[in-house]
Structure 1
């Protein structure tokens, strides 16, 4: 029974991620089939994607206040309820489909952030390290990306776009049921009763602003996501066409990345705690980041490109769980919802303009110049955190209450006085485990 919570969180993530991958295939196909307009298709898809990161950030104080389990259940249930509209009322008009996807994006952002928050607590309850829990969650995500997209294509081809939405609703309903039956909400430090919602939102922003390691990671996320989007949306397809290759080469390279990352994420879950952190980070980011772009700039054969992309997948599966673990260690459990969702919002900020950047570089200097610029910028972005952060593992947990102090600073606001050293990373996880084993309540003395 110790693994019940972790198994439940991972299973619900698998269902939710598979539903999302299904929507990424079914919705564009449905809109294109109905309108034949690529512009309208892009607009409808954007209506789901754009609210995702923004509502994650806005939900941060609620995640810390009322707990991630309830947010996860509410978000998945809301998305499932909206997606069954075609089953009840028939094929929706385009405006209603757009509104449905806006609601799904608004609900899915907080629900996804909630499951991410539950992983460290569930891992502690199972007697496992945060690294192992995060590694397993990464493997689930990559598997859902690889298998979920293939399943989505089959469902859309056999059932049609409308009925594929029903399948997505069913998956989200199953995810809600799994969380309801298997996951326990961790003990939450609810903070001051007189703190307003905006006070809590500002507290998360203040913590991120005063933490140099987290600032370095956030800047890296923003730049690399922007460059990844430029590569995926513009540069990789243009490289394939310019070299006389068809879409099969692109699809095979991307599939290789996904499959290799699943294997390395499982390896990270198995023995990631024994790997040297700085070396693991450098090997992971250098093999999975700039190499994917530079290998295209060198005009190497497709076989070499696919091999490099396989190595990139291995590196990706190694360093992503490490970065997630580091964030868990650096952010106090009481602030994790606000700070992690803010980091995610910043990370998503560059994605909408990534394709535009790729197009501008392509039109300005040509394909090779654009590839070299993006590759070198990617290299600079990933190297910065390697020397801006302390990669040593945390020492024994500090006494309860250490690391963060509330100080009044005016009539209507609270200023957080933040120390540079990280707060005890697993205090709430340990309290959660102690409560589950003893059946009693644990009081946090501040």
Structure 2
């Protein structure tokens, strides 16, 4: 029976959740800079938030389906909301210590990745229920996230300037609560959101087998592995940008948090436009060149311009172009991921892929804070710019990336069906897909971009 309500519920919950992310993205680094005065300590806070994200993503995939995607999403939001609420409460009581701030951000990181994965892997089933094409649903999912990020960032910059970072963290905690309530009520009775009915008890041997199956799928497909390695690199650099480099640049050269909020909002707005344009016209163009150009616009130019200017307008222009480029990335990766990974493996493969693309995020903020204190902001920006540029050449150099242009649909030899057959055989779905030249992608939550955008910074929901 056709119903658009569950898909609308996930989109709405994601919009509220991402709005809160934008508050955290600006509020927590600014809070750390205000309370410690040290870019290095701000980077260490980002490190503490990112390490648990990787740990939970590495090990959480098999648990999500057995507990139930709806339950995991709700529990994730509630725990993260409570942890964020504790930060300003302790600070106002005069009890907050730096180690407590690090520990509370670590709690949000630990519970973030399973909830993100649980919501993301529901989209194909909910799109079928809504009779919505998968490409359109994936673009809507990303566009809603971009729009929410734009609105939340603009609001966060103003709120930090007007009422302080403490209040911003309270508002962020409230967004977690609202997102949890929406998922709790709106996905009730959806089979794909509930625990697996006939699954065997989760023994240690069964858990290891499930975990191994997800990683085997990822590692046996060269394109999927290549995507993960590339986005792993750029996500680490994105963490350095969003948690240290851009906040420090805004504080020292651009006039404070209002400029920071404006830059993040412009990036989000242009990324929203890019995602909507790709949803409307993207099927007319080959994926690989669009993806490559989008990534080249998204990364290096922002670092270079920030290194050589101390005014906002030039950076606004290049960030706007970068936003347009970033808008096409996740719809491409998400669509291809949905096309090739069978439904019964999506939680496990999604967690494995999320863990892969987040492996470097703990080091991004930590390394950036150290580099700024030792070599200065300009050197840090140019170093990251060079590394980002080298990483984004991968789609243009390595032959495995040609699989990104493999057409979807019946003309591919029914890729999803072959993947299902491989999953049930000794060969494995990843090997089957690779043998046919099928395209796969990293998980949707990844956030390839230097400005605060997906899946993959401190912590993304």
TM-score, normalization by structure 2? 0.74
Give the drift of 1:71.
0.9
Q: How many residues align?
A: 417
Gap change, CA 1:224 and 1:367, over 3 Å in 2 = closer
C-alpha contact (below 8 Å) 1:223/1:350 kept by paired residues? yes
Alpha-carbon shift at residue 291 of structure 1 (Å)? 4.4
User: Is 1:280–2:261 an aligned residue pair?
Assistant: no
Question: Residues 264 and 189 of structure 1: is their aligned pair in 2 closer, same or farther, counting only changes over 3 Å?
Answer: farther
| SS of residue in 2 equivalent to 1:338 | helix
How far apart, CA to CA, are the structure 1 residues paired with 2:153 and 2:260? Answer: 15
Distance 1:312 1:39 in 2: 27
Task: Indicate conservation of the 8 Å contact 2:300/2:385, yes or no.
Answer: no
Asked if structure 2 preserves the Cα contact closer than 8 Å seen for 1:20 and 1:168, the reply is: yes
Alpha-carbon offset, residue 186 of structure 1:
1.1
Q: Does the 8 Å contact 1:297/1:372 carry over to 2?
A: no
- Whole-Å Cα distance in 1 between the matches of residues 182 and 402 of structure 2? 38
Is the aligned partner of 1:359 residue 2:378? no
Separation of aligned partners in 2, 1:23 and 1:277 = 33
* Aligned pair partner of 1:344 in 354, 360, 377: 354
Moved more, 125-134 or 45-54: 45-54
Q: Counterparts in 2 of 1:303-382, with a 5 A limit?
A: 306-354=316-364, 356=367, 359=371, 370=383, 373-374=386-387, 376-382=389-395
Q: Distance in 2 between matches of 1:235 and 1:33?
A: 15
Q: Per the alignment, in what secondary structure is the counterpart of residue 64 of structure 1?
A: helix
1:119 is the counterpart of 2:131: no
Deviation at 1:351, TM superposition (A): 2.7
**What corresponds to 2:455 in structure 1?**
none
Q: Distance in 1 between matches of 2:250 and 2:155?
A: 26
Spell out the pairing of 1:404-415 with structure 2 (5 A cutoff): 404-407=423-426
**For 1:134-174, what per-residue CA distance to the aligned partner results, in whole angstroms no more than 9, with x for missing partners?**
21121222223222133234445555555544433322121
Matches within 5 A, 1:146-157: 146-156=150-160
TM-fit CA distance, 1:123 = 1.7
Q: Work out whether residues 261 and 315 of structure 1, in 8 Å CA contact, stay in contact via their aligned partners in 2.
A: yes
- Consecutive unaligned residues of structure 2, counting only runs of 5 or more, are 440-461
Of 186, 192, 207, the match for 1:186: 192
Structure 2 residue aligned with 1:196: 206
Tell me the secondary structure at the aligned position of residue 186 of structure 1.
helix
Choose 1 or 2 for highest CA Rg. 1
Within 1, Cα distance between the matches of 2:248 and 2:121? Answer: 38
1:265 Cα deviation (Å)? 1.0
Unmatched segments (≥5 aa) in structure 1: 408-414, 426-446
1:393 is matched with which residue?
407
Following the alignment from structure 1 to structure 2, what is the Cα–Cα distance between the partners of residues 211 and 366? 37
**Using the alignment, how far apart are the partners of 2:309 and 2:168 within structure 1?**
40
CA RMSD of aligned residues (A): 4.2
Larger RCO: Structure 1 or Structure 2 (Cα < 8 Å, ≥ 6 residues apart)?
A: 2
Higher mean C-alpha displacement, 82-91 vs 48-57 = 82-91
Q: By how many angstroms is 1:109 displaced?
A: 2.0
Matched with 2:224 is 214
TM-score normalised to structure 1 length = 0.77
Aligned partner of residue 344 in structure 2, secondary structure:
helix
Offset of residue 280 of structure 1: 2.4
Aligned residue in 1 for 2:96 = 94
Q: Secondary structure at the match of 1:94?
A: coil
